[in-house]
Amino acid sequence: MQLGPVSTGAENKYYAVLGSIGEVTFVQYSQPYTVSGVKSNFWPTYGVGVFDPFGFMGHFAYGAILDNQVLRSVERFPDMWHERNPSRTIVQTQSAPLPIAPNPNASLFALVR
């Protein structure tokens, strides 16, 4: 397995599969979020997550979409509107997923060095 440099974070690519040893798959995850203008990563540097793929499989619950046309919990809410100058039609889909793991003990997060 090659654990060399992998480019993530470019063109909305936030994860990369680094390789596998037996049934263990190594993934690098680097999606950022911004709060009050400060950009941070979801997973800190040297953060490692270990998941049991069979014990951690769960389902999604969905929160309410904050749009006057729906204002309820839906899996996906498609929306479309027109603008002028320049003339264009904008299409978007909104969702508010919340992953629910049936067995939280099937996961581990650790900071290693």
DSSP of the chain: --------SSTT--EEEEEEETTEEEEEE--EEEETTEEEESS-TTEEEEE-TTTS--EEEEPBP--TTT-SB-S-EEEEEEETTTTEEEEEEE--EEEE-S-GGGEEEEE--
Q: Is the pTM of this model over 0.85?
A: no
With a cut of 60, say whether residue 10 has pLDDT above it. no
Confidence at residue 3, expressed as pLDDT on a 0 to 100 scale: 46
pLDDT digits (tens, 9 = 90+) for 13-68: 777 777 778 777 777 777 778 888 888 887 888 888 887 777 777 778 888 887 88
